[in-house]
Amino acid sequence: MNIKEIEPTTQYINGSIYEEDLSIVIDELVNLDFKEINDGKERIVRKRKILNSINNYNTNSQEIYNWLINNQKSSNSIYLLGYFNYNGIEIDNNMQKAYELYQKAAELENDVARIELANMCIDGEGSDVDYEKAFKLINELVKKECLCAIVLLGYCYEKGIGTNVDEQKAFELYQKGADLGSSSGLNNLGGCYNNGVGTDVDMQKAFEFYQKAAILGNDFAQYNLALMYENGDGIEQDMAQAIYWYEKSAEQGDPDALNKLNFLKKNKFF
């Protein structure tokens, strides 16, 4: 990922961290976020990880935010300010501002900004839906073998985002992502076998890929695995395992898993 240096100063902040050290913290936080995206972690999990990391650096989110406002010189600082706006850290959620900052950082060839901007274009956050722009951004990252972009490109081919639907191509990209260790690739590959996308339905293989992704901490896969255990799809029904994996998914904030647990509790399954 593109990281630009910031000229250090000797200013001391709150008696805890030098300003030149804070510029290093910014780079490390952005690198951490990009790693979490490539690992298939969801936004709520990534935000929690970022906030915990900030505390571990002997600083706080307000101090980081104040520094970012006054130091918009590198693509990483521009991206992270966008991240704060998107996630409502020390400021109200502002999707339009986040979009603008991600766009600016992406123009400076910041890879994590590119993937986040692509996601915003797909979801229509901060601006109108723009599938063509998203598809272009994703392809730029795929050329660099960006893991999360490989899987997201598969999703584009599966759903026809910025391109024609090509389920075989989607399957191949999910397979590539899975082979490279992407939990999202593994989960989506499980979905292909579950639903016959680009391949024949094979519930045993669906179970195997969901299980691999769930063990890696993918909350969607944990939910899908729990659903298979609950319904006995491709595996013997096991409500204890279903509840276990619903709980794992719910711990990461998955709303469907939370609803499932409430339903199961209401009906006295546990």
Predicted local confidence at residue 20, as pLDDT: 62
- Residue 83 has, within 13 A of its CA and on its CB side, a CA count of 30
Rounded to an integer, the average pLDDT of 52-64 is 93
- pLDDT over 80 (residue 234): yes
pLDDT of the residue at 265? 84
CA distances from 265 to 139, 223, 255, 259, 268 (A): 45, 16, 15, 10, 5
Q: Is the pLDDT of residue 229 over 50?
A: yes
Residue 3 confidence (pLDDT): 35
Please state which of the ranges 51-60, 171-180, 194-203 shows the lowest mean pLDDT: 51-60
Percent share of the chain, pLDDT over 70? 93
Angle between helices 19-38 and 111-123 (to 10 degrees): 50
Q: Which two tokens stand for residue 107?
A: 């123009």
Between 265 and 156, residue with greater pLDDT: 156
The answer, yes or no, to whether residue 261 has pLDDT greater than 90, is yes
- Structure confidence at residue 49 (pLDDT): 94
pTM, whole model, 2 decimals? 0.88
pLDDT in tens, 8-24: 333 434 444 556 689 99
Paired strand residues for 12 = 18
Question: Residue 18 has what pLDDT?
Answer: 56
CA angle at residue 103 from 101 to 107, to 5 degrees?
A: 120
Q: Given a cut of 50, is residue 199 above it in pLDDT? A: yes
Least confident of 50-54, 62-66, 266-270: 266-270
Mean pLDDT over the full length of the chain:
91
Vertex 264 angle, CA 262 and 269, to 5°: 140
Q: Tens digit of pLDDT for each residue in 86-140? A: 999 999 999 999 999 999 999 999 999 999 999 999 999 999 999 999 999 999 9
Which two three-digit tokens encode residue 246? Answer: 């619903």
Coil, strand or helix at 151: helix
The residue written with tokens 């989506």 in the block is 188
Q: How far, in Å, CA of 23 to CA of 75, rounded?
A: 12
At 180 the pLDDT is 94
**Side-chain half-sphere exposure of 173, counting CA atoms within 13 A:** 25
pLDDT at 268: 72
Please tell me which residue, 145 or 11, carries the higher pLDDT value. Answer: 145
d(CA 37, CA 19) in angstroms, rounded, equals: 27
